[in-house]
Amino acid sequence: MNQTVEQLLSHYSVRAFLDKPLSDDQIRLLVESAQAASTSNFVQAYSIIGVSDPKIRRELARISGGMSYVEKTGQLFVFVADLNRNKQIAESKKENPASLETTEKMLVAIIDAALAAQNMAVAAEAMGLGICYIGAIRNDIERVSALLNIPEHAIPLFGLTIGYPEQNSAPKPRMPYQLVYHENEYQAKETALYEAYDTTISDYYTNRTGGVRNETWTDQIAEGMKKPVRMDMKAFIEKQKLGLK
């Protein structure tokens, strides 16, 4: 199999790292790999904040619910959907940035940031490093924004912790591809495919946790749909003056 594809199929999140910082060269290569991702209309509407300050890391780890791998890592990156830069540029050219606060432009920035992050993740794994995304920084988006000095027209989306893995793991089985892939139109999928996947995931958890966990995937999804979380996001995004139109 092609080496790149093999690497993609071998991905797993790493949640324990050595206390060994990445070098400046590694950080630069990771950021440049992120920047090489495709970007809507060439807007490059994101910023990446590298958090090396132990005090800020500690606070971000606390906000994230005490995840040690936010603090003890090679480098912690925070990906920011960033239209502030575009606003500054438009204004410097005496243009009215009329599209700035549209939902479409916000989507563009979020998609750009996510693509860049995944490029960085793939590059990191190719360099023998481990990665884990940290959406839990959004547990307190206001505090994170204050800590990182985020301006209006920008949203800190998630962290990406990258370092030297302290332990190895194995890929978590994904849905059978037939559940994800639709030909020509959106198609209803057979229940049997979900049932088979439920068995796979329940077995996966049973083996990994010695039986402490054994839930199915659809149980997990249904549970996650019950309770709205981070209900402050809408107000935060409005306060940042994004997605208003």
Per CB under 6 A, residues contacting ligand FMN are 11-13, 15, 64, 67, 132-136, 158, 172
Please tell me the chain's helix, strand, coil percentages from 3-state DSSP, rounded to the nearest 5. Answer: 50, 15, 35
Rank residues 165 and 243 by Cβ distance to ligand FMN and give the closer one: 165
Separation between Cα atoms, residue 179 and residue 16, nearest integer Å: 32
For the bound state, the minimum distance from the C-beta of residue 97 to ligand FMN, rounded and expressed in Å, comes to 28
For the bound state, the minimum distance from the C-beta of residue 183 to ligand FMN, rounded and expressed in Å, comes to 26
The number of angstroms, rounded, from the C-alpha of 155 to the middle of its chain's C-alpha atoms is 13
* Strand pairing category for 130-134 and 46-51: unpaired
Query: Which residues are paired to 131 by β-bridges?
Result: 162
For the bound state, the minimum distance from the C-beta of residue 191 to ligand FMN, rounded and expressed in Å, comes to 23
SS3 state of residue 64: coil
Closest CA to 130 of 5, 11, 228, 8: 11
Separation between Cα atoms, residue 43 and residue 80, nearest integer Å: 14
Rank residues 65 and 99 by Cβ distance to ligand FMN and give the closer one: 65
Rank residues 89 and 222 by Cβ distance to ligand FMN and give the closer one: 222
Rank residues 211 and 224 by Cβ distance to ligand FMN and give the closer one: 224
For the bound state, the minimum distance from the C-beta of residue 171 to ligand FMN, rounded and expressed in Å, comes to 6
Phi-psi region of 210 (alpha: psi -120 to 50; beta: other; left: phi over 0): left
For the bound state, the minimum distance from the C-beta of residue 200 to ligand FMN, rounded and expressed in Å, comes to 14
Rank residues 86 and 133 by Cβ distance to ligand FMN and give the closer one: 133
Q: Which residue is nearest to ligand FMN (CB)?
A: 135
